[in-house]
Amino acid sequence: MVHIDVKYEGNLHCEAVHGPSGTALTTDAPKDNHGRGESFSPTDLVATALGSCMLTVMGIAARTLGVDLSGATASVEKEMASSGVRRIAKLIVKIHVPGDVSAENREKLERAAHTCPVHQSLHPEVEKPVEFVWG
C-alpha cells in the first residue's frame, strides 16, 4: 500500500506528497475550469500516469528480452468530454522507441504496454488509441 497526502493550498492549488519518497508535486485547475493552468491538473496527471506507466511496463519487459529502451518517449494528448459530466473522453498515446528492435520483440513490448495497470484501470468509456513508432 502506498500513502499519498494531499493538501488544498487555496486558489484551486493542491500539493501532494508521496509517502514512501517524500517527493511533492503540485496541481492547479486548468484554465478551462476556473484555474490558472500553472501546473498539472488532476486529469493531466491521469494522462501522465498512462504514458509513464506504459513506458515503465515496456521497460520491465525489455529487461527480460535484453532490449535497451533508453530514449523511448511517450506523448499523450488528453481530450475532455464536450458534453455531459466533466470527464476525460480520450487519451491519445504515441510511443516512440529509437533503435533497432526485432518484430518479435516489438510485438511483446506493445502487448506489455497495453497491460499497464493505469491502462487497465481506466473506465472503458475512455478511448485509449495507441500508436507505436519504431526506429
The domain in which residue 14 lies consists of: 4-33
Query: Residue 42: what pLDDT?
Result: 96
Q: What's the pTM?
A: 0.94
In this structure, the answer to whether residues 62 and 29 fall within a common structural domain is no
Contact (CB, 8 A) for 12 and 29: yes
Query: In the beta sheet, which residues pair with residue 134?
Result: 97
Per-residue pLDDT in tens (0 to 9) along the chain, 135 residues:
999 999 999 999 999 999 999 999 999 999 999 999 999 999 999 999 999 999 999 999 999 999 999 999 999 999 999 999 999 999 999 999 998 999 999 999 999 999 999 999 999 999 999 999 999
Rounded-to-integer distance, Cα 67 and Cα 110, Å? 13
CATH number at residue 62: 3.30.300.20
Q: Examine the domain organization and report whether 92 and 56 are in the same domain.
A: yes
Give the pLDDT confidence score for residue 104 in this predicted structure: 98
Q: Are residues 28 and 81 in the same domain?
A: no
The residue whose grid cell reads 487555496 is 10
Overall number of domains in the chain: 2
Check whether residue 61 and residue 81 sit in a common domain.
Answer: yes
Instruction: List, in order, residues 6 or more apart from 135 with CB less than 8 Å away.
Output: 97, 98, 99, 100, 101
The number of residues making up the chain comes to 135
